[in-house]
Amino acid sequence: MTLFTFSSNNSSAKTIIFAFSAFALYSLILQVVNPKITAFQNQWIQNYSVAEKYIYKQETPQAVIVGSSMSTRLLEEKFNSDVYNLSFAGGSVLTGLNIIKESKTG
């Protein structure tokens, strides 16, 4: 009776090569497709992401929309590229104003 756990064939090398090639292919697909996040787990993470994008934005926008849940639903495609929507779902207008005040862009 032979134990297949310690067999002498190269199945472990084949597994490592397969895993590496699958990872490389997946990385290549991510580089080509470049998926965009369209949904967040919850409002807190969405608000955090909106604030982080504003703080680390390379160019200072000419206009910033600051609001609450209703302003969040405004479509970004309808604005020019120099307008940023800094509205928070379930948040306050004052949070956005404070971010503008404390950021290097404000």
The whole-angstrom separation of Cα 55 and Cα 74 is 20
pLDDT for 4: 57
Under 8 Å between Cβ of 103 and 54: yes
Please tell me the distance from the alpha carbon of residue 86 to that of residue 95, in angstroms, as a whole number: 9
Q: Encode pLDDT of 1-57 as tens digits.
A: 555 555 556 677 888 899 999 999 999 999 999 888 778 888 889 889 889 989 988
Q: Would you tell me how many other CB atoms lie within 10 Å of the CB of residue 96?
A: 24
Q: pTM (2 decimals)?
A: 0.60
Residues in the chain: 106
Query: Per-residue pLDDT for 89 more than 80?
Result: yes
In whole angstroms, what is the distance from residue 49 CA to residue 53 CA?
6
Q: Residues with Cβ < 8 Å from 76, sequence gap 6 or more?
A: 85
